[in-house]
Structure 1
Amino acid sequence: MAFAFNKNTLIAMKNTLYISMLILGVILISCTAQKTSITKTQNQNLSSNDTIRIANDSLEYEVIIIDPGFNIWLASRAHPRWYYTQEYLENKNQIYVNEWNNRVLQPQRYNPNLYEMTINYDSNIDYGYEVNYLIYNYMVYFQNNYNQRLFGRVPLR
């Protein structure tokens, strides 16, 4: 049995794999990071709301962010959608992802429990506003929540 894939399909499959790996990393980070205790009722209310999923079948990618507290942070502390331009978000994401990937490659210097795998973010692909908005805000949330600085001044929200 033989399979034939064109270049775009292979790139899309590769992007899907890397984004899935990012998601797995976020899950592992959230499992290993120290958390503050919350009551059982609060935990039940939050548990159904800690997953954010975005999919684009035409580009064959999917982004899932699972990190307890991120959805509430996004709704209550992040700037509203369309506050930033897509170009701004893309530029910041490229900088943050580059630094993230540099830290993954230096586990002796940076906590390997926080930076477990690289992120394949291609600045030549138009992921759209929503994906860039969520990645940017997750990076801000990550930096504030885990006391990390990927690049420059991080908005405190």
Structure 2
Amino acid sequence: MKKIYLVLGTLGLFSALIAGSCSSSKETVISDKEKAAFHQKEADTVKIANDATEYEIIIIEPGFNFWLESIARPRNYYSQEFLESRNQIFVTNYNQRVMQPMRYDPNLYEQQINYDFHTDYGYEVNYKLYNYFIYFQRKYNQRLGPFVPRI
């Protein structure tokens, strides 16, 4: 069985990035419940393994599992096509930032994501990858695409 691992996560906690504010009209509003997820210290590991698709995603990020279960849109809210199209944008921009450690924080952008745009990873992998990117952007005040990361 062939496996491709997508391991994501940040080792350091950068609460200073959360404290920064923006005066733009497209400011991201973070609820108290979401802030609680961002400030969790215990490491969460989210693993999705599907023998049918032979792909696996492992996300190690404090608070992500709590955020995914309590804040994120429920499964089947988005179509798989929507998730795939957004993941293409997010992965491309994320990987570009990994390759520029002098410009982007290498503690946030640690390693490239091996995501093949022509492979059908299935709904669950795309759902969790998409939501990780939303979580990541909201927690660390980053923008990986032309749109504001919303829930």
TM-score range with shorter-chain normalisation? 0.7 to 0.9
- Percentage of pairs with the same residue: 53
Q: Aligned pair count?
A: 129
For structure 2, the 5+ residue unaligned runs are 17-35
Q: Which has the larger radius of gyration?
A: 1
SS in 1 for 2:46: strand
Matches within 5 A, 1:36-51: 47=42, 50-51=44-45
CA deviation map 1:91-150 (0-9, x unaligned) = 000000000010011111100111111111111111111110000000000000011001
Query: Is the 8 Å Cα contact of residues 45 and 58 (structure 2) preserved in structure 1?
Result: yes
Displacement of 1:34 after TM fit? 2.8
Structure-1 separation of matches of 2:102 and 2:84: 29
TM-score, scaled relative to structure 2: 0.75
For structure 1, the 5+ residue unaligned runs are 1-8, 37-41
**Segments of 4+ moved more than 4 angstroms:** 45-48
Structure-2 separation of matches of 1:116 and 1:155: 21
Query: Is the 8 Å Cα contact of residues 42 and 63 (structure 2) preserved in structure 1?
Result: no
TM-score, scaled relative to structure 1: 0.73
- Larger RCO: 1 or 2 (CA < 8 Å, sep 6+): 2
Structure-1 separation of matches of 2:149 and 2:103: 24
Residue of structure 2 aligned with 1:117, choices 111, 116, 125: 111
Matched, 1:33 2:13: yes
